A and B are shown apart, each in its own frame.
Chain A
Amino acid sequence: MSEITQEQVTQQSDPYLSRFEALEKEGERGGPSWVFPIRKAGISRFAELGFPTIKHEDWRFTNIRPITELPFLPVLEPSRETISEAALNRFAFAGLEAHRLVFVDGFLAPDLCQIESLPEGAIVGSLAEQLKKESKEVKDHFAGQINGEENAFTALNTAFFQDGAFIYLPKGTVMEKPIHLLFISTGSERGMTTHPRNLIIAEPHSELKLVESYAGLNDIPYLTNAVTESVIADEAHVEHCKLQNEPGEAFHMASLYSHQGRSSRFHFHPIAMGAHISRNTIRTTLDGEGLECVLNGLYLTYGKQLADNYMTVDHAKPHGESHEYFNGVMDEKSHGVFHGRILVRPHSQKTDAKQTNKNILLSGNAVVNAKPQLEIYADDVKCTHGATCGQLSDDAIFYLRARGLNYPTARRMLTHAFAGEIVERIRMDTVREELDRLVWDRLEQMPRLAQTAE
């Protein structure tokens, strides 16, 4: 029995519900009429769930009270603040050789986008626009994967989202250049909340390279609450890198739902560096034989940051292969959370599922909570998991020191290498190179690593 009464839930959700009623009256903003019932289902789901507290098993280590204490100011119209093309340069991947969609406070900013000639039939653009067009693809897949979802933030996104990216690759389409989705929050007000919503559809045999990055202009407590749904059809290959680099006071909640078909390949690299509290939720359904799913994440925190990684890998068909590699580096009083659930359904024989979570605590005050969770209902499977937490290897430190490198240098080298293990798995060369530099710089900002004296 949960100790939270329905009444408490209702009270807490009140401002959200009344905001929704207002949205309902505005009509237009709710988007096309076929979407409205989906929104309504979202808000009812949210009312039912309420915000999670640390009494909820899935949120034990992540206290989101600072978020619920903020005023709720969903952004429902495009920002009047304009960002110049040149101002984009301060953001990661701005110089990437890529197709680019820029969203400011959750709305597409057409002036900042850069979409060159796309392969025949491919679509890279605004989701809001697609919803209006009511194409079969969008109707078939929008909100298709969130049924029964227990994450209140996803429900909230469904109720309030305004825009986001829509990517569609027809059968056999190979996108050579990556697509970059840049989400910028102006952070003009405390409590400002954006609800980016993305839908990605990769039809059979298509290939997609995707970079999704989040940043902000002002360092104040605002919330980004993003949801991405990915549909990866048979034999499609998707590599997806997500960089969360919000300012230090901001909050970031993001959920990715992916559905994979037979012999498909999905490599997802979530990198969390910013925000006060962030949570990256992944729910991936491995719904075909011979597929491969790699979740390869990195979280770097210091100060009072908290970075939570929560994932469910659902092996719904036999002969699937999944790997999760998550490395975390925590300094000062920061906090890392890893929750990796692997579900192997009864008939999913010959599943090969591996999970590793490694953490380095640079300070005695840093904390990490790791929770592997294997639920295996098939008998002929290979499942392994391992979590480590601690300091760097003494043997390695000594080896480096025995060659003339002092202790701080040895520690820095090994910490960079530790983060590098994750970055190296990114196959998009230009993306990997840029991330390598970003991760390097971020680590150099960690107070313990910046120390030069022992």
Chain B
Amino acid sequence: MLEIKDLKAGVEGTSILEGVNLSVKAGEVHAIMGPNGSGKSTLAQILAGRDGYEVTGGSATFEGKDLLELEPDERAKEGLFLAFQYPVEIPGVNSSYFLKAALNEVRKHRGEPEMDAVEFLQFVKEKMKLLDLREDFLKRPVNEGFSGGEKKRNEIFQMAVLQPKLAILDETDSGLDIDALKVVSSGVNRLKSQDNAQLIITHYQRLLNYIVPDYVHVLYQGQIIRSGGKDLALELEEKGYDWINEERSQPA
């Protein structure tokens, strides 16, 4: 589904990603861990199409299409979704209006009929239950005045509505209390199917107790320096990132 090959990118001459390789197939859950500043969000933003980053080498394909050639909205319509580490507040844009417009764009692209207001409302109500969201949520402007936890929940709610093929969750767990973490991760798990995939960026093993990954990757200074199964996360929790470094610097 997603093939990243030797991706190199940076900002204004400073390189951030120094050759990332990653392959994600339908039905899989991948976790990316790594210390602050290692390039996790940069990778996510580049995949979603944020401009301002300069790709200096390598490639990224999504369902066989050259991802880097597509506009951000085209990527979204193709089924790529980024849950932002810092969701943006958009005063004055009503949540329901925004989400209905987005959903209909995606549906049009998939060749599905657009939803009218009534159908939309019915459809999102179920999704709201899934994320334990209050009814008035849709009437509020997008993210405006939301608490940190509400913003994260809103990201997953949007994911539930848009039903992407590949969801990239950038530190969705940070800022969530234990109960919210359970609600959010059970939401994410229920959205999981054989046809879609999830790429979960996190600092904490805690989240991976709820969302169990098939693969764990460690991004360090712009490169994936180690990949493994879910046990790798446990090992990292115990030993920290230095442990991998030490191992790496020792000749095999």
* A positions within 8 Å CB-CB of B: 393-396, 398-407, 409-410, 413-414, 416-418, 420-421, 424
Instruction: Check A420–B162 contact: CB distance below 8 A.
Output: no
Identify which of residues 76-123 in chain B touch chain A, using a CB-to-CB cut-off of 8 Å.
76-77, 81-82, 84, 87-88, 90-93, 98-99, 101-103, 105-106, 109
**Shortest CB distance B56–A (Å):** 21
CB-contact partner of A414 in B49, B50, B93, B105, under 8 A:
B93
Given A398-B72, A406-B73, A421-B92: A413 and B98 interface contact (C-beta under 8 Å) = yes
Instruction: Check B49–A402 contact: CB distance below 8 A.
Output: yes
Contact mask for chain B residues 57-72; partner A; CB cutoff 8 A; 1 contact, 0 none: 0000000000000011
Question: Roughly how many angstroms separate A409 CA and B93 CA in the complex, as a whole number?
Answer: 12
**22 examples of A-B residue contacts, CB within 8 angstroms:** A398-B72, A402-B48, A402-B73, A402-B75, A402-B76, A402-B81, A403-B76, A403-B158, A403-B162, A404-B106, A404-B109, A405-B73, A405-B98, A405-B101, A405-B102, A405-B105, A409-B101, A413-B101, A416-B92, A416-B93, A417-B92, A420-B92
Instruction: Check A400–B71 contact: CB distance below 8 A.
Output: no
**Shortest CB distance B200–A (Å):** 17
Question: Roughly how many angstroms separate A416 CA and B91 CA in the complex, as a whole number?
Answer: 10
Instruction: Check B88–A399 contact: CB distance below 8 A.
Output: yes
Given A403-B158, A405-B101: A396 and B73 interface contact (C-beta under 8 Å) = no
Question: Roughly how many angstroms separate A424 CA and B162 CA in the complex, as a whole number?
Answer: 29
Question: Roughly how many angstroms separate A394 CA and B49 CA in the complex, as a whole number?
Answer: 13
Chain B residues near A420: list those with CB within 8 A: 92
Instruction: Check B102–A403 contact: CB distance below 8 A.
Output: yes
Question: Roughly how many angstroms separate A417 CA and B103 CA in the complex, as a whole number?
Answer: 19
Chain B residues near A399: list those with CB within 8 A: 84, 87-88, 90, 142
Interface size range of chain B in the complex: 20 to 34
The 6 residue pairs across chains A and B that have the minimum distance between CB atoms: A417-B92, A404-B76, A403-B102, A401-B72, A399-B88, A404-B105
Chain A residues near B82: list those with CB within 8 A: 402
Instruction: Check A402–B90 contact: CB distance below 8 A.
Output: no
Having A401-B49, A405-B73, one finds 5 other A-B pairs with CB under 8 Å, namely: A398-B51, A399-B90, A400-B98, A404-B102, A405-B98
Given A398-B50, A409-B101, A413-B93: A404 and B77 interface contact (C-beta under 8 Å) = yes
Chain B residues near A396: list those with CB within 8 A: 88, 90
Residue among B51, B75, B88, B106 with most chain A CB within 10 A: B88
Instruction: Check A418–B105 contact: CB distance below 8 A.
Output: no
Task: List the A residue with the shortest CB-CB distance to B75.
Answer: A402
CB-contact partner of B91 in A400, A405, A410, A417, under 8 A:
A417
Residue among A394, A403, A409, A424 with most chain B CB within 10 A: A403
Chain B residues near A424: list those with CB within 8 A: 92
Q: How many A-B residue pairs have CB under 8 A?
A: 80
Identify which of residues 197-225 in chain B touch chain A, using a CB-to-CB cut-off of 8 Å.
none
**Shortest CB distance B35–A (Å):** 25
Chain A residues near B90: list those with CB within 8 A: 396, 399-400, 414, 417
**Shortest CB distance B169–A (Å):** 13
Chain B residues near A416: list those with CB within 8 A: 92-93
**Shortest CB distance B227–A (Å):** 27
Chain A residues near B99: list those with CB within 8 A: 403
Question: Roughly how many angstroms separate A409 CA and B100 CA in the complex, as a whole number?
Answer: 13
Question: Roughly how many angstroms separate A414 CA and B94 CA in the complex, as a whole number?
Answer: 11
**Shortest CB distance A252–B (Å):** 27
**Shortest CB distance A219–B (Å):** 31
Chain B residues near A417: list those with CB within 8 A: 90-93, 141
**Shortest CB distance A174–B (Å):** 29
Task: List the B residue with the shortest CB-CB distance to A415.
Answer: B92
Task: List the A residue with the shortest CB-CB distance to B104.
Answer: A404
Chain A residues near B106: list those with CB within 8 A: 404
Residue among B48, B84, B90, B91 with most chain A CB within 10 A: B90
**Shortest CB distance B97–A (Å):** 8
Given A399-B87, A418-B92: A404 and B73 interface contact (C-beta under 8 Å) = yes
Question: Roughly how many angstroms separate A418 CA and B84 CA in the complex, as a whole number?
Answer: 23
Chain B residues near A421: list those with CB within 8 A: 91-92
Question: Roughly how many angstroms separate A427 CA and B66 CA in the complex, as a whole number?
Answer: 50
Question: Roughly how many angstroms separate A414 CA and B141 CA in the complex, as a whole number?
Answer: 11
Question: Roughly how many angstroms separate A393 CA and B50 CA in the complex, as a whole number?
Answer: 13
Question: Roughly how many angstroms separate A279 CA and B21 CA in the complex, as a whole number?
Answer: 61
Residue among A396, A409, A414 with most chain B CB within 10 A: A396
Question: Roughly how many angstroms separate A122 CA and B88 CA in the complex, as a whole number?
Answer: 50
Residue among A399, A406, A420 with most chain B CB within 10 A: A399
Given A409-B101, A413-B98: A401 and B91 interface contact (C-beta under 8 Å) = no
Instruction: Check A403–B98 contact: CB distance below 8 A.
Output: yes
Question: Roughly how many angstroms separate A402 CA and B48 CA in the complex, as a whole number?
Answer: 7
Chain B residues near A410: list those with CB within 8 A: 73
Question: Roughly how many angstroms separate A417 CA and B51 CA in the complex, as a whole number?
Answer: 23
Instruction: Check A404–B84 contact: CB distance below 8 A.
Output: no
Question: Roughly how many angstroms separate A418 CA and B50 CA in the complex, as a whole number?
Answer: 23
Chain A residues near B109: list those with CB within 8 A: 404
**Shortest CB distance B70–A (Å):** 11
Chain B residues near A409: list those with CB within 8 A: 101, 105
Identify which of residues 133-186 in chain B touch chain A, using a CB-to-CB cut-off of 8 Å.
141-142, 158, 162
Chain A residues near B48: list those with CB within 8 A: 402
Given A402-B76, A404-B162, A414-B93: A395 and B71 interface contact (C-beta under 8 Å) = no
Question: Roughly how many angstroms separate A23 CA and B49 CA in the complex, as a whole number?
Answer: 69
**Shortest CB distance A358–B (Å):** 11
Question: Roughly how many angstroms separate A10 CA and B102 CA in the complex, as a whole number?
Answer: 62
Given A396-B90, A400-B98, A414-B90: A406 and B84 interface contact (C-beta under 8 Å) = no
Instruction: Check B88–A395 contact: CB distance below 8 A.
Output: yes
Question: Roughly how many angstroms separate A416 CA and B98 CA in the complex, as a whole number?
Answer: 12
Task: List the B residue with the shortest CB-CB distance to A395.
Answer: B88
Task: List the B residue with the shortest CB-CB distance to A423.
Answer: B92
Question: Roughly how many angstroms separate A217 CA and B98 CA in the complex, as a whole number?
Answer: 38
Question: Roughly how many angstroms separate A269 CA and B105 CA in the complex, as a whole number?
Answer: 36
Chain B residues near A403: list those with CB within 8 A: 73, 76, 98-99, 102, 158, 162
Question: Roughly how many angstroms separate A188 CA and B53 CA in the complex, as a whole number?
Answer: 59
CB-contact partner of A406 in B49, B71, B87, under 8 A:
B71
Chain A residues near B81: list those with CB within 8 A: 402
Given A409-B101, A413-B98: A401 and B92 interface contact (C-beta under 8 Å) = no
Question: Roughly how many angstroms separate A424 CA and B93 CA in the complex, as a whole number?
Answer: 12
